[in-house]
Chain A
Amino acid sequence: MSEAVVPDAMVSPAVGGPYGEKAGGPMLDFSYVGIDAILEQMRRKAMKQGFELNIMVVGQSGLGKSTLMNTLFKSKVSRKSVLATAQEKIPKTVEIKSISHDIEEKGVRMKLTVIDTPGFGDQINNENCWQPIMKFINDQYEAYLQEEININRKKRIPDSRVHCCIYFIPPTGHCLRPLDVEFMRRLSKVVNIVPVIAKADTLTLEERDFFKKKIREELRANGIDVYPQKEFDEDAEDRMINEKIREMIPFAVVGSDQEYQVNGRRLLGRKTKWGTIEVENIAHCEFAYLRDLLIRTHMQNIKDITSSIHYEMYRVRRLNENNTMVLPPNRTN
């Protein structure tokens, strides 16, 4: 195999225009092939197709899940904001309700689905309250699998798999409750879990640090692998970035969709008698880190891990349990 390394004096790829018109020295036109224009082509294709993201929020009622979603996406994406809140009764069992939105930013279109789980952890007896959630997640994998093994497949299979599950830990300040441990232990095997400490404005900084350390210890002791998982780090650079994140989880967040005037600027925050908590100020809470992780830097990675690891594991399990070999019985080459 021969390698053709073009000198680095190359200009960055043109944006789809014909190369004959490129103004440049004679040497540039001579050796430039144009392979890196494929990046631009990919970008165009991605923008045209749009993206899909499915986020599930799990936690007891009253922890601020809907508010956090609204804060993350800076619009009323949660179910409560959409539907008439006629009944706010706590349901008798865990329900799964999802709602989808088309949002667009700078030409990038995204179909965001927020999956809410009212009733989780609210009953007196909470044994097996993760089951409906597990079932929902597995149902989405199943639906995708069925579409994938069809003979006549759709051009683009609609992706309803849960990419990320944000788990809300109540700010007790002590340690994880058995419900938290059970849930995260079971679900970290099928979906990416991002634990957050809800309503973190009730903890002082020392309490917060202590709580986080305790939580991390408990997660480690129970063998719970939350996102970003150690085993999926691809290279040293990845590991470095992810280690920094792992030292900070769970993020202590505060959500708000109301703006206040602080120091002459309008900021999202919570106004109390003793001060205003600025949501996007990293000295106050870690919302900005969560947002950066989920949206600005690791969104594609979250989706990749869901599709290439969690979904594949489900697929292997499913195909093995029916004892059907998916390979055709007689191989022709």
Chain B
Amino acid sequence: MASSDVARQPDKGVRSLSLAGHVGFDSLPDQLVNKSICQGFCFNILCIGETGIGKSTLMDTLFNTNFENFESSHFEPQVKLRAQTYDLQESNVRLRLTVVNTVGFGDQMNKQESYQPVVDYIDRQFESYLQEELKIKRSLHNYHDSRVHACLYFISPSGHSLKSLDLVTMKKLDSKVNIIPVIAKADTISKSELHKFKIKIMSELVSNGVQIYQFPLDDETVAKVNTTMNGHLPFAVVGSTEEVAVGNKMVKARQYPWGVVQVENENHCDFVKLREMLICVNMEDLREQTHTRHYELYRRCKLEELGFKDTDSECKPVSLQQTYEAKRQEFLVELQKREDEMRQMFVQRVKEKEAELKDAERELQGRFEQLKRLHAEEKAALEEKKRLLDEDQSSFGKRKAAAQLLQAQSLTANGKKDKDRKKKNDG
């Protein structure tokens, strides 16, 4: 569209222009890819399946390496998840792969809560990403993304239908993670049984409303291959890390007395299809779906749960910040109220204690008065006695004095008489 004759477009209108020469921004995708190569990629797979169904073997086969695996017992009291992270490299691409395995899934007598640890794990990864995103100082591009990108659900090759545990678990997980169901140990099912089995599984999933991951059809380059593959779900896989000689090649296979099941032979099992879809064609889409659909859903629910809304009661847009301010105010008011309450209670208690102490003091005072009175009375009584005694004593003293005087008088009187007599006698 020539640009020189366009005049009446609004200022902010977006128009298409044709370039008169080579500008060079077609290198942009390359620049983007180069940056990603420097940063490395992250991919997290969750494998859910019963013990011994072949999860670890399949992972080993898929990524052509020997992850550290150890066999788990069948006697786990609860379902646990074990996550292991590996750094893989192929040509110039570095991949940080995290494989999460369920331990003890389907082994318990009561399987009602079996799905819960899995759901909790997935939610925990979303939560830690959300926390990082909400931080003030954050480093999202350095963040090790641990959110589960793909969930391989291993279906037992019974040949009949899905177990109710399978349905319940998948139903709980379908809105949280991209579920890719696979039929494990597919070498135990014959071809015709397999076909019927697959149809049964898909119809059960549909009738129970379980949303499994559909390979994306919007990009023309891969739409065709994805449509075909969508029709082959669930993939019937066989895993093996052992090599068997077939013809003049060594291939990954399982050797039986009646023949050799070749893992990478498309006639034998769907392993190649799984690898194709999971890794070669749709890895980026899996990551994107996890981020834009499942994570956003989690985030929305979590924030709404905390009371944040985008619009308030009058349908005016409310920013997160306003809601925060409101909440914070609420919180502060609540805090203040509690503080006041506590203060009140404290004052009350102090008053009570004071009253108590006052009472005690009064009582003591009363007793003291009483004792004092008693003491005074006793003292008075004693004083009285003392006085009487003193009186007695003084009166006795007087009497004694009087008696002595009398005696003395009588003596002198006698002496005088004697003297007189003597004088008379003398004279």
Residues of A within 8 A of B (CB): 1-6, 8, 10, 12-20, 26, 29-39, 41-48, 51, 53, 72-77, 79, 81-84, 97-108, 110-111, 146, 149-153, 155, 234, 291-292, 295-301, 304, 308, 312, 315-316, 319-320, 322, 324-329, 331-333
Contact = CB atoms under 8 A, between A and B. Distances in A.
B91 interface: yes
Given A39-B36, A329-B331, A331-B131, 5 more contacts: A2-B66, A19-B272, A72-B23, A149-B319, A328-B306
B95 A35 contact: yes
A2 B65 contact: yes
B281 interface: yes
Given A151-B300, A322-B321, A76 B17 contact: yes
Contacts of B109: none
A14 B222 CA distance: 13
A103 B27 CA distance: 14
B125 to A, nearest CB: 11
Interface string B177-208: 00000000000000000000000000000000
Contacts of A104: 16, 19
Contact of B284 (A1, A41, A74, A153): A41
Interface stretch (B132-140, B160-168, B360-368): B132-140
A110 B93 contact: no
A107 B324 contact: no
Given A1-B86, A35-B95, A150-B310, A73 B19 contact: yes
Given A2-B67, A81-B4, A149-B320, A319 B136 contact: yes
A85 B135 CA distance: 48
B107 interface: no
Nearest to B141: A308
B327 to A, nearest CB: 7
B413 interface: no
Contacts of B288: 45
Interface string B307-328: 0111000000001110011011
A54 B306 CA distance: 36
B25 A299 contact: yes
Contact of B7 (A1, A37, A84, A152): A84
Interface in B4-63: 4, 6-9, 11-38, 41, 62-63
A234 B8 CA distance: 46
21 contacts: A3-B86, A3-B89, A4-B64, A14-B280, A30-B251, A33-B275, A36-B92, A41-B285, A42-B33, A46-B28, A74-B19, A98-B11, A100-B15, A150-B310, A299-B28, A319-B136, A322-B321, A322-B325, A324-B324, A325-B324, A327-B131
Contacts of A76: 3-4, 17
B32 A34 contact: no
B3 A43 contact: no
Contacts of B249: 26, 30
Contacts of A20: 266, 272
Contacts of A315: 136
B124 interface: yes
Given A43-B29, A149-B320, A292-B24, A33 B279 contact: yes
B147 interface: no
A221 B76 CA distance: 69
A329 B65 contact: no
B87 interface: yes
Nearest to B250: A30
Interface string B71-105: 00000000000000111111111010000000000
B91 A101 contact: no
Nearest to A103: B17
A327 B134 contact: yes
A164 to B, nearest CB: 13
Contact of B17 (A5, A14, A35, A102): A102
B275 to A, nearest CB: 6
B22 A105 contact: yes
Contacts of B324: 324-326
Interface residues of B, number: 103
Nearest to B91: A36
A327 B16 CA distance: 43
A331 B57 CA distance: 38
B282 interface: yes
B280 A34 contact: yes
B283 A38 contact: yes
Contacts of A324: 321, 324-325, 328
A86 to B, nearest CB: 10
B286 to A, nearest CB: 10
A2 B68 contact: yes
B310 A151 contact: yes
Contact of A300 (B13, B32, B89, B252): B32
Given A105-B19, A151-B304, A324-B325, A6 B137 contact: no
Contacts of B306: 328-329
Interface in B265-279: 266, 272, 275-276, 279
A36 B284 contact: no
Nearest to A323: B328
B367 to A, nearest CB: 57
A295 B88 contact: no
A308 B225 CA distance: 37
Given A2-B67, A35-B90, A83 B7 contact: yes
B174 interface: no
Given A105-B25, A299-B31, A10 B276 contact: no
A29 B331 contact: no
Given A42-B36, A151-B310, A146 B31 contact: no
B145 interface: no
Contacts of A17: 225
A16 B309 CA distance: 43
B425 interface: no
Contacts of A100: 12-15
A296 B24 contact: yes
